[in-house]
Structure 1
C-alpha cells in the first residue's frame, strides 16, 4: 500500500489536514496528556466533545474519565493498534477510531478520527497506522523540547524549596524567565510513596496532573519517594480545593494505576512567594505526623487540619527540657501494670471521642455502664477531674507524646 504520509510536514496542523484528507474524516492530534496539538478543519461533521477540545485546547476531564471507564485509554496505552470508540452521549462523544503514537515503549500522543459520515474500513485503519508513524517524528522533537523545559523548571523549583532567593522580586523574575505565571495564592503539596518513584509511576503522576482541573500545577519535582508540587487553587475555597485535589489524585492512582501506598501532605496556604519554603516544611511535617499517627490522621491532608498534632514536637521537646512527668498518667499506668487493666487506653479513647461516653463505649466494644465505671476509677486513681477541659487536654497531650516515643 502506498504511503500518502511519507513526505515531511513543517507544521502539526498540516499533518492533521493531510490525514483528514486521506481518511475523509475530521482528525485531532493530542499529546500523551490529552493536550490538543493540532486539528483538521471541518464543516458540520463534528461532535460536542471535539468542539470542547478545540476551544479548551485539551480534552475535557469528563471525557477523559469516561474513556478510562470504558477501557479506551487503557487499550491505547497498551497497544499500537487502532481502537474503536463507541459513542458516549452523556459527554457528547461520537463514534471514533483512536491510535496511540509510540516511541519504543513510550506513548507520545494520540490521533483521533471521527466516524460521523464514514466508518473507517480495514484499509483506512492501515493508513491510520502509517499516519501515526508519520506524526511520531514531529512529536519526538516536541518531546525533547518539553523534557529540557521540565529539567530547567525543576532546578528552579529546588532553588525555591531550599530558600535560595533573597527577595520575592528576584523569585518573580525567575518565574517570568521560564514563562510561568507566579501564583497569587499557593501551597506545597507532597505525595509520599513507600519506595522510590520509578519512571513508570512518574509518568502516571504527570499524566494525572496534566488532566486535572482541580488546581493549577505550577511546578513539580521528585525527591526519591516524594512527589512535590507547587499548587495554585483556582476557586474561592482554596483550602477545600487543595484537599479535594489530593483526594482525587490518590483515588485516581488507586483506580487507574493500582497504586495504593501513597500518603498526602499539604503545607499552609500563602500569598508571599518567599513563604514557599515554609509551606514545604509544613507539608513534610504533615507527612511525619501521619506516619506517627496513621489511623487517626488518615483523612487529614493539610497542616491547618492537624490541630494540636502540629505542636506535638514542640511540646515534647519542652517536656524533655523540663524533665516533667505527668503525675496522673503515671498513676494510671502503674495501676494498669499492677492490676492488668487497660484504664489508660480507655481514657485515651474517651478523650479522642470528644468525651462522648456513648461513642467511646462503642469504640472500646464495652457497655456504657462499664465505661462509666472505668471513668470513675480513673478520676480516683489519677486524681483528675474529667469534667475539666484543661486537665483533659494536658493528659491527652502527654498520651500522644507517649505514642511518639514508642
Structure 2
C-alpha cells in the first residue's frame, strides 16, 4: 500500500503511452494546469447508461466516427469526466478538437489488437495504488513504495533495456517504457499481461526456468527467432530469503556487461522489497477496509466517518452477504486451510464483480462472511438479487456451495445496521435449507422467524406441552409414530391421501392413526387454533 495519490492522466500516459494509449487531443484549459487524479475507469455501455463519477476515464468500447465521439464528449463533459478512450485510429479533425476544448474531456486512442479487458485491468491496477486512509507516501530505494512501474522504469534506465517484472506464473506485474524497442514476443507479452504459452513452454523444455529458480545470478537466454523472440533476454529470480516471489526480465542485444550484471542483481533485491511491501500493504489495506466496513455496518457513532472514508456516505445502499458451506469439508488443518483459501478467493472475486457494478462498492470479509456495500441510487433489491445471481453463475459450481443474502435498501446510517441484521438472517436460512442460492428477506421471512423462535425456545429451555407432549410420551412408551402422523397431516394441509403417501402407508392405515392422534393427544383436529398450536410446537419446540 503505497499511500500515493491516485494516478492522473499525465501519469497514465507516461506508464501506458508507449504501448497502449496515445493522446489524440487534450483540452486547451489543461495545458500547464494541475490534473486531478483519475477516480475510475468505467466502460461505456450504450444500452444501460449509468452516470460516471467525476474525473473518470471512460472506456468507449465500440465507439467510432466523429459524430459518436463528439456526442459522447459532450455527454461525459456534463458529468465531469476527465477523458474518453476510443479504439485507434482516431481522426483528430477540427470538429473533434473543438469538442474536446469545449467539454474539457481529453480524447485518447487505444492501440489496435489490444484487449479492452487488459486495458481495464491495467488501469485498475494503477488507480488502486493509493490507500483507503490517505497516508503519507513512503519510499524504498528512492522510489515510491510498491510502485512496480516506477521500479521497472528505473531499472530500464540502468540497463538501457526494456524491463518486465513477472510473478511466479509468468504474469506481468509491471513493465517499463520503451517496449516498442523490443521484439514482437515482448509486445505480445505486454498486451496479454502474460508470457505467451508457446514461449513459456519452450523455456521450460530448455530448462531455463529450472536454472533461473536455482541460482541468484542472472541467466542469459539466446534469441529464439522461430517464436518471435528476436532479442536475447537476461533474467534473474526475485527472492525474499528462500521464498520465490517472481522474476525480472530484460530484453537485451547481447550478454550483460559486468556493470549491468551487478545492476541486475541489485535490482532484483530492490524489486523483492517492493513486492513484499506491496503484499504487506495489500494485507493492511484489506484489514483496514474490513474494519471500516464493520464499523459502518454496526451503525454506531463511528459509522458516518467509516462511510466517508469508504466513499459511501449520503447514498442509499444494499448490503450483500456471501458465505460458503463448510459443513461438508473434512476435518483437519489442511481442509481448514483450503476453506480459508476458498473464502479469500471468493472474496477477491466478489470485490471485483461489485467493483464492476459500481466503482464505489466496498467489500470485506468479517469472520466467515464476505459483506459488500453497493450504492444503488436508482435500483432496488431485485436489481441487487440479479447482481448476486450473476456472480454465482459466473463462478460456477467449482469448490464449495456459496450463498448470497440481499438486504433491504438502507437509506441512512441507522438503516444500514438494520440491513446488516436482515442479511444475516437471510444467510442463516439459506445455510439451513435446500433451495435457492440467493434470497432477500421477503423471500425467507417466515423461515427466519421460525429460526429465531427456535433460538428463544432453546434459550429458555421450553418443553412441549398439551397434545404434542402427550403424543410424544405415548410414542416413547408404546413405540408408535403418532407425532410423525400428525406432522405429515399438518404438512399436507389435511390431505389424508397425500399425507399417507409421504409416509408410505395405506390411506386407511393413516386414517386409523389419525384417529388415535385425536384420542391420545386429546386434540380437536377441526379447531384451527389447535392445529396452529400443534404445528408451531412441532416446528419450534420438538427437535425430532
TM-score (norm 2): 0.46
Aligned equivalent of 2:184:
124
Q: Give distance in 1, aligned partners of 2:473 and 2:424.
A: 36
Q: Give distance in 2, aligned partners of 1:383 and 1:230.
A: 53
Q: Give distance in 2, aligned partners of 1:232 and 1:364.
A: 49
Note if 1:382 corresponds to 2:521: yes
Aligned equivalent of 1:211:
353
Aligned equivalent of 2:487:
348
Q: Give distance in 2, aligned partners of 1:243 and 1:369.
A: 47
Note if 1:164 corresponds to 2:300: yes
Listed as ranges, the matches of 1:5-404 within 5 Å are: 11-13=11-13, 16-19=16-19, 41-43=87-89, 102-104=166-168, 124-129=184-189, 132=193, 150-165=286-301, 171=304, 174-180=306-312, 182-194=314-326, 195=336, 198-199=340-341, 201-211=343-353, 218-232=361-375, 236-238=379-381, 240-255=382-397, 258-291=398-431, 293-295=432-434, 301-312=439-450, 313-314=452-453, 317=456, 325-357=464-496, 359-402=498-541
Q: Give distance in 2, aligned partners of 1:319 and 1:224.
A: 25
CA deviation after TM superposition for structure 1 residue 283, in Å:
3.1
CA contact (8 A) 1:379 1:386 kept: yes
RMSD across aligned C-alpha pairs, in angstroms? 5.1
CA contact (8 A) 1:336 1:344 kept: yes
1:345–1:101 CA distance, 2 compared to 1 (3 A): farther
Q: Give distance in 1, aligned partners of 2:517 and 2:530.
A: 13
CA contact (8 A) 1:283 1:302 kept: yes
Equivalent residues, number: 323
User: What whole-Å deviation, never above 9, does each CA across 1:330-388 have from its counterpart, x for those lacking one?
Assistant: 22223333343323223324433444545544443445554444434323332333344
**Partner of 2:18: helix, strand, or coil?**
helix
CA contact (8 A) 2:407 2:423 kept: yes
Q: Which runs of 5+ in 2 are unaligned?
A: 1-8, 22-40, 44-56, 60-84, 91-108, 123-163, 176-182, 196-247, 250-270, 327-335
**Partner of 1:186: helix, strand, or coil?**
strand
Q: Give distance in 2, aligned partners of 1:379 and 1:214.
A: 60
User: What whole-Å deviation, never above 9, does each CA across 1:46-66 have from its counterpart, x for those lacking one?
Assistant: 99xx99959x9689xxxxxxx
1:183–1:332 CA distance, 2 compared to 1 (3 A): farther
User: What whole-Å deviation, never above 9, does each CA across 1:178-218 have from its counterpart, x for those lacking one?
Assistant: 43354414235241442565346423432244235996583
CA contact (8 A) 2:453 2:540 kept: no
CA contact (8 A) 1:17 1:41 kept: no
User: What whole-Å deviation, never above 9, does each CA across 1:35-55 have from its counterpart, x for those lacking one?
Assistant: 7798785138x99xx99959x
CA deviation after TM superposition for structure 1 residue 146, in Å:
7.3
CA deviation after TM superposition for structure 1 residue 157, in Å:
0.9
Q: Which runs of 5+ in 1 are unaligned?
A: 1-8, 22-33, 60-99, 112-122
**Partner of 1:306: helix, strand, or coil?**
helix
TM-score (norm 1): 0.59
CA contact (8 A) 2:471 2:482 kept: yes
**Partner of 1:385: helix, strand, or coil?**
coil
Q: Give distance in 2, aligned partners of 1:331 and 1:106.
A: 71
Of the structure 1 ranges 101-110 and 223-232, higher mean CA displacement relative to structure 2 is found in 101-110
User: What whole-Å deviation, never above 9, does each CA across 1:86-124 have from its counterpart, x for those lacking one?
Assistant: xxxxxxxxxxxxxx995335967799xxxxxxxxxxx63
CA contact (8 A) 2:316 2:409 kept: no
Q: Give distance in 2, aligned partners of 1:387 and 1:215.
A: 54
Computing the radius of gyration from Cα coordinates, the structure with the larger value is: 2
Q: Give distance in 2, aligned partners of 1:324 and 1:204.
A: 42
**Partner of 1:207: helix, strand, or coil?**
helix
